[in-house]
Amino acid sequence: MEVRRTVPVKLDVDERDADLLHETIRQFLDAANYVVDVAYDGEWVETRKSVLHEETYSDVRDRTELHSNHVQSARDRAVDALKSTLAKWKQGDSASLPTFRTPFCEYNHRNATFYDDHATLSTVDGRVTVGYQLPDESHDTPHSQYLTNEDYETTGATLHYREGSFFLHVRTKADVDVPDRPENGTVLGVDLGVESIAVTSTGTFWSADELNHWHREYEKRRGSLQECGSRWAHENVQSVGRTETGRFEQLLHRVANEIIEEALEHGCSSIAFEDLTNIRQRMGVLKKLHAWAFRRLYDYVAYKGEAHGLTVKQVNPQYTSQRCSTCGFTHEQNRASQESFCCQDCGYENHADYNAAKNIGLKLLRNQTGGEGGAPVGVRLNSGMMNTNGVVPVPDSVRVGVHAERHGL
């Protein structure tokens, strides 16, 4: 299976080279905008690359000093943007024609060469060498996983300029051997929360303490810097933000890896998350940080899982926190508090997030089997399996005992 990843890298660029890159970007945007102008004659939009090549290539070579591959990529980007505008027009949306303003420029193997810690890039006046600013910690970063990993081949990059710095978004790809994982229908359910970032239907909890602790620490640092109000302080606030994001991303990579391990160890073929589309509106107490962290965690699990042959899906979260995972009785009073679940019908008691994780797994199971019965599949619990008929092969008391021991519930 082919896996593609894009890795953003901040660049070290000296002053003279920076001028050349700025000018290259300016001419690249000019070329793309020129193609848009030619493509639209007032009523008709031309989106055939071959026709636009005929109509614009030599003009753009004349009016710019761009490398021939930059001329072609600028045209391709213009065509992509024109097509998406056309699609909006067809839906009755009165979108305006595309205009390229945000600074960027495309690179491929014909106008750039990529190394482990630097690249050489064509400009309007020869090539420049740009160094990569790589993170100190070499383990488990996207850089070590894709950029310097020999299994991944670099296919190209987009140069960006923002907040006073140049960045390369390096595109990589690899042919990954996906382990043979027959679709056995076993689901690992995952509940996301503010106290525990993640809880699985197998009863494993990932605490959010570290995330919350560091978030408070960084808030304090930002607060005291903001009181200064100087330009120096403002820049430091931004740098605190970047450090924070990096630390959280590392933490979430670790949790994602462990969720994948949990699924593989328990022989699951799918992982179910709740639908995150309206996560912030749904959970009142939820901070922006958590909504961001949940989406990031889901993305990490989705792409890491893909490489292991796992299916990762989102399900409608309705009633997953109020439904009893043992008897199916659904009532808002079942949720005794933020943490505890107590079924008003059968008396089943457990941690609320753990109960929700089982329901989330069960929802995906129902979607897969199309209702009751069907193939012998189930939601993976720590020491047993639950299926859509609610049959629990292992006595619940045993399971609860195991979890109480492992997690001190």
If one asks whether residue 329 binds Zn ion (CB under 5 A), the answer comes out as yes
If one asks whether residue 29 binds Zn ion (CB under 5 A), the answer comes out as no
If one asks whether residue 343 binds Zn ion (CB under 5 A), the answer comes out as yes
Helix (H) or strand (E) run with residue 403 in it: helix 396-407
The binder of Zn ion chosen from 51, 95, 327, 404 (CB under 5 A): 327
Of 281 and 337, nearer to Zn ion (C-beta) is: 337
Q: How far is the CB of 376 from Zn ion (least distance, A)?
A: 23
Of 346 and 391, nearer to Zn ion (C-beta) is: 346
Of 252 and 324, nearer to Zn ion (C-beta) is: 324
Q: How far is the CB of 153 from Zn ion (least distance, A)?
A: 53
Q: How far is the CB of 334 from Zn ion (least distance, A)?
A: 7
What's the number of CA atoms in the CB half-sphere (13 Å) around residue 366?
14
Of 184 and 330, nearer to Zn ion (C-beta) is: 330
Count of residues that bind Zn ion according to CB under 5 A: 8
The contacts of residue 6 (CB under 8 Å, 6+ apart) are 169, 170, 171, 172
Of 192 and 379, nearer to Zn ion (C-beta) is: 379
If one asks whether residue 324 binds Zn ion (CB under 5 A), the answer comes out as yes
Of 200 and 326, nearer to Zn ion (C-beta) is: 326
Of 246 and 390, nearer to Zn ion (C-beta) is: 390
Take residue 318 and report the two structure tokens written for it.
């309705």
Question: Which amino acid, 408?
Answer: G
Q: Position of tokens 């292992």?
A: 394
Beta-strand relationship, 270-274 and 311-315: parallel
The span of 58-66, 151-159, 199-207, 321-329 binding Zn ion (CB under 5 A) equals 321-329
If one asks whether residue 336 binds Zn ion (CB under 5 A), the answer comes out as no
Binders of Zn ion in range 171-210 (CB under 5 A): none
Q: 134-162 b/e with 16+ CB inside 10 Å = b?
A: beeeeeebbbebbbbeeebebebbbbbbe
Q: Position of tokens 């045993």?
A: 398
**Is 342 buried (19+), middle (13-18) or exposed (0-12) by CB count in 10 A?**
middle
The contacts of residue 185 (CB under 8 Å, 6+ apart) are 269, 270, 365, 368, 369, 375, 376, 377, 378
Q: How far is the CB of 329 from Zn ion (least distance, A)?
A: 5
Binders of Zn ion in range 291-320 (CB under 5 A): none
The contacts of residue 199 (CB under 8 Å, 6+ apart) are 190, 191, 193, 205, 206, 351, 353, 354, 356, 357
Residues binding Zn ion (CB under 5 A): 324, 326-327, 329, 343, 345-346, 348
